Chains A and B, each alone.
Chain A
Amino acid sequence: MSEMTLVEAINLALARAMEDDPDVIVLGEDVGINGGVFRATAGLQTRFGSERVLDTPLAELLISGLCVGMAAQGLKPIGEIQFMGFLYPCIDQLVNHASRIRNRSQGRLTCPMVLRTPHGAGIRAPEHHSESTEAMLAHIPGLRVVIPSSPERAYGLLLAAIRDPDPVVFLEPTRIYRAAKGEVEDNGEALPLDVAFVLREGRDVTLISWGAMLKETMAAADALAVEGITAEVVDLATLKPYDEVTVLGSVAKTGRCVIVHEATRTGGFGAEIAALIAERSLTSLLAPVARITGYDTVIPMARLEQHMMPSVGRIVTAARKACQFS
């Protein structure tokens, strides 16, 4: 066990996967000698060579398409997209190929690839570096969409993603790459995909979030505890397919739910969860489901980005309101 940051845990999982399985290939822009712009692939090229850790030309569609071809050949490619804002050219490959080659070929060809990319705002980065469009990806059948919120889960979930026989988009919460620290044991053990983690148990209200926003969500739970409100905090962790059982179980217990995400509100993944609860658990609700989200506008650059993102205050207010409702 040693204490490390989230990005170090990613690096550790990548190294472990490459060590364990010669089919694992890491590819992307600047992943080689530079070790990635966030240092997630630091040291890998020195250790595993430039055939298995390759700097690609600057072309994101290429990176995702190469992964599809390599994966169909039985390799386990892990592509890195430098920022989520540059992932959009990959949508063609993800929608038309990665996610459906198994289905199209009726199981003859498969696509065990991982596409990693930093997710979210809050690091005062330039334009197009602060995207959180996970809902777009979670809309694609056949894909898995995973986002860890701690070093330990980053390590275990990334190993799971790499070993999974289907394509996974692995979103890495940029804002807590270095801010989140925790004990990680390099035991090669994967965590389960498609399972939500209950980070804190509570009776009065369920707070559901993922990625970096769990920081504010946990802080909100602390603040609510001071007022005598016990919040249950669920880290969804896998958005596609997601753990409906844990969500519904928690809401059945608390009767109240606040969903927190930094992505814009309309069509965000919170809408999916709210719809699930409305369909399946309406009678257990003591208050309307609330969403605390980014606003329905373009993510602003550094000067205003903090105003876009859900604050602890907004989460607390929504949870308090739900508790006061009945």
Chain B
Amino acid sequence: MASKKMADGGLPVVARFEVRHRNYLAPDGSINRPLPAFASDANLLVSLYRAMVLLRSFDRKAVALQRTGRLGTYAVSLGQEAVSVGIASAMRSEDVLLPSYRDNGALLWRGVNPEEILLFWGGDERGNHFSGPVEDFPFCVPVGSQAPHAAGVGYAFKLRKEPRVAVCLFGDGATSKGDVYEAMNFAGVHKLPVVFVATNNQWAISVPLRLQTGCETLAQKAIAAGFIGEQVDGSDVVAVRAAAEEAVAAARDGQGPRFIEALAYRLGDHTTSDDASRYRQEAEVQARWREEPIARLRAFLVGQKMWSKAEEERLAAECHERVEAAVERYLATEPRRPETMFDHLYAELPEVYAAQRRELAGEGDV
């Protein structure tokens, strides 16, 4: 942008930076440039596809539960399934995931049970005691506040010389927070094995990206922290996976942090508490549907004869069954007794609070 150029006055240039954009699959599933090596692995591509379809059917069911009073506020991933799935697919189980509240695709990929996710959004803390890797962080609701934790986790890995990577997911809105800048800065200083991923779905509730930043890209924010920032087409799971693979490998190899800006679009409301028609045009949303990640990968797979109509039908039935079974287990979960709100408050509940716990248990008052 010309307006951003200053008069050079013959002064020497001391630094120059660039940000690259990665994309392989066009919206219609055709190929834009030679695919990365992993894309010849049909099983992997199909498993990415299956994970995205599962996520979408899980989301649909969760919203239905919310609408019928059986779940609390819920945030769907509609339109950005490729990001959380693609990123998680490049991680090892011993890596640590630090998700936001919209990264169910990553949690499911890493072995969290769907009913555990429902339990959390159903207002029960036990959902955070999940079946995913034990060192993974729970959902993070205060936007961006998990980013410094990622740097802390990365520091621990580096200190102990463990070849592990912390992967931190957040939204475009989160990139405005000091937490995120501060975490990236520290990770840059110490060349920590951290991969920061911003899912740029263009919206932070009703606030559009242009009110969030004056930058052309979010990826360039990494440059100020001293490491590589890359923009990827977040509706192209091949691109997301490729960028994540490279970033995670570099971080594991001691080359320091990376930042991935995954360009996507939030096709749904912010959460079930939101009504996006108040602040954005339906036409804009409709136009973005042609980019969505699931149809795109399906078109590619079908074109490559890696996927058939029969398999599609089988998958739909399978997802339906899996989700319904999870919902059944969720709804059958024993309620917690009120006094359990004191469980895990401290390693050992101090005696002064034990009386309050007894009161809640109906064993005499304070």
Chain A positions near chain B (C-beta within 8 angstroms): 29-30, 32-35, 37, 55-59, 61-62, 85-86, 89, 124-129, 265, 295-298, 300-305, 307-308, 317
Of B207, B340, B356, the contact of A296 (CB 8 Å cutoff): B356
The answer to whether the Cβ of B205 comes within 8 Å of any Cβ in the partner chain is: yes
Contact among B122, B178, B212, B274 with A303 in the assembled complex (CB-CB below 8 Å): B122
Is the CB–CB distance between A85 and B142 below 8 Å? yes
Report the Cα distance A124→B122, complex, angstroms: 9
Whether B206 and A300, one on each chain, are in contact in the complex, defined by CB atoms closer than 8 angstroms, is: no
What 13 additional pairs, Cβ within 8 angstroms, besides A30-B207, A307-B360? Answer: A34-B205, A56-B211, A57-B173, A57-B207, A58-B174, A86-B142, A126-B101, A295-B360, A296-B353, A296-B356, A297-B342, A301-B120, A301-B124
Rounded to whole angstroms, the CA-CA distance of A298 and B141 in the bound complex is: 15
Judge if B341 is at the interface, Cβ distance under 8 Å. Answer: yes
A300 to B121, CA, bound (A): 13
Complex CA gap A134/B205 in Å reads: 27
| Cα-based distance from A212 to B122 in the complex (angstroms) | 24
Bitwise interface map of B from 24 to 40 toward A, beta carbon under 8 Å scored 1, else 0? 00000000000000000
Residue total for B at the interface (Cβ-Cβ under 8 A): 44
Q: Contact partner of A30 among B73, B206, B352, CB < 8 A?
A: B206
User: Does residue B10 face the partner (Cβ distance < 8 Å to A)?
Assistant: no
Q: Which residues of A contact B359 (CB under 8 A)?
A: 295
Report whether A34 and B279 are in contact in the complex, using a CB–CB cutoff of 8 Å.
yes
Instruction: Give the CA-CA distance A55 to B11 in the complex, in Å.
Output: 38
- B4 cross-chain contacts in A, Cβ below 8 A: none
Q: A127 contacts which chain B residues (CB < 8 A)? A: 139, 141
CA distance A202 to B46 in the complex (A): 73
B341 and A57 within 8 A (CB)? no
B74-111: CB near A (< 8 Å → 1, else 0) gives 00000000000000000000000000010000000000
Task: Give Cα A11 to B250, complex, Å.
Answer: 52
Whether B73 lies near A58 (C-beta < 8 A) is no
Task: Please give, as numbers and ranges, the residues of chain A lying within 8 Å of B120 by CB-CB distance.
Answer: 301
**Is A58 a contact of B207 with CB atoms below 8 Å?**
yes
Task: Kindly state the separation between the CA atoms of A59 and B212 in the bound complex, as whole angstroms.
Answer: 10
> Do B121 and A126 touch across chains, with their CB atoms under 8 A apart?
yes
Contact B72 A302 (CB under 8 A): yes
Q: How far is the CB of A29 from chain B (nearest CB, A)?
A: 6
Given A125-B72, A302-B123, A307-B338, CB of A89 within 8 Å of CB of B211: no
Contacts of B274 in A (CB 8 A): 37
Residues of B within 8 A of A34 (CB): 205-206, 278-279
Question: Which of A59, A125, A317 is packed against the most chain B CB atoms within 10 Å?
Answer: A59
User: Which single member of A85, A89, A126 contacts B73 (CB below 8 Å)?
Assistant: A126
Most buried by A among B101, B336, B341: B341
B341 contacts A298, C-beta separation under 8 Å: yes
Contact partners of B299 in chain A: CB under 8 A? none
Are A308 and B176 interface neighbours, CB within 8 A?
no
Q: Could you tell me if B176 and A303 are in contact, using CB atoms closer than 8 angstroms? A: no
Query: Which A residue's beta carbon lies closest to that of B205?
Result: A30
B345 touches A297 (CB 8 A): yes
**Once the chains are docked, how many angstroms separate the CA of A304 from the CA of B120?**
13
Please give, as numbers and ranges, the residues of chain A lying within 8 Å of B143 by CB-CB distance: 58, 86
Taking a contact as CB atoms under 8 Å apart, the answer to whether A57 and B176 are in contact is: yes
**Are B72 and A124 closer than 8 Å at their CB atoms?**
yes
Closest 7 CB pairs of A and B: A302-B123, A34-B206, A57-B176, A58-B173, A307-B338, A301-B123, A303-B123
B212–A58 CB distance below 8 A: yes
Minimum Cβ distance to chain A for residue B130 (Å): 15
Residues of A within 8 A of B365 (CB): 317
Q: How many angstroms from the CA of A56 to the CA of B359 in the assembled complex?
A: 45
- List the B residue with the shortest CB-CB distance to A299: B341
Find out whether the CB atom of B279 lies under 8 angstroms from the CB atom of A33.
Answer: yes
- Which residues in window 199-228 of B have CB below 8 A to A? 204-207, 211-213
Cβ contact of B353, chosen from A32, A61, A297, A305, cutoff 8 A: A297
Chain B: CB-nearest residue to A304: B341
B144 at interface by CB-CB < 8 Å: yes
Closest to A125 in B: B73
Interchain CB contact (< 8 A) of B335 among A57, A298, A303, A305: A303
For A295, the chain B residues whose CB sits under 8 A away are 341-342, 353, 356, 359-360
A301 to B128 Cα, complex, angstroms: 12
Are A298 and B345 interface neighbours, CB within 8 A?
yes
Q: What residues of B have a CB within 8 angstroms of the CB of A56 in the complex?
A: 211
Residue of A89, A125, A300 near B341 (CB, 8 A) is: A300
Q: Determine if B318 is an interface residue (Cβ-Cβ < 8 Å).
A: no
What are 6 pairs between A and B in contact, CB < 8 Å? Answer: A33-B278, A59-B177, A126-B141, A297-B342, A301-B124, A302-B124
**Residue of chain A at shortest CB distance from B274:** A37
Check if B312 is an interface residue, CB within 8 A of chain A: no
Q: How far is the CA of A32 from the CA of B206 in the complex (A)?
A: 8
CB distance from A90 to the nearest CB of B (A): 12
Name the residue of chain A whose CB is nearest to the CB of B342: A297
Query: Which among A35, A62, A125, A304 has the highest number of chain B CB atoms within 10 Å?
Result: A304
The verdict on B43 contacting chain A, using a C-beta distance below 8 Å, is: no
Q: How far is the CA of A56 from the CA of B173 in the complex (A)?
A: 10
Contact with A along B327-342 (1 / 0, CB 8 A): 0000000011010111
Could you give, for residues 308-348 of chain B, a 1 whenever the CB lies within 8 Å of some chain A CB and a 0 otherwise?
00000000000000000000000000011010111001000
How far apart are A94's CB and chain B's nearest CB, in angstroms? 16
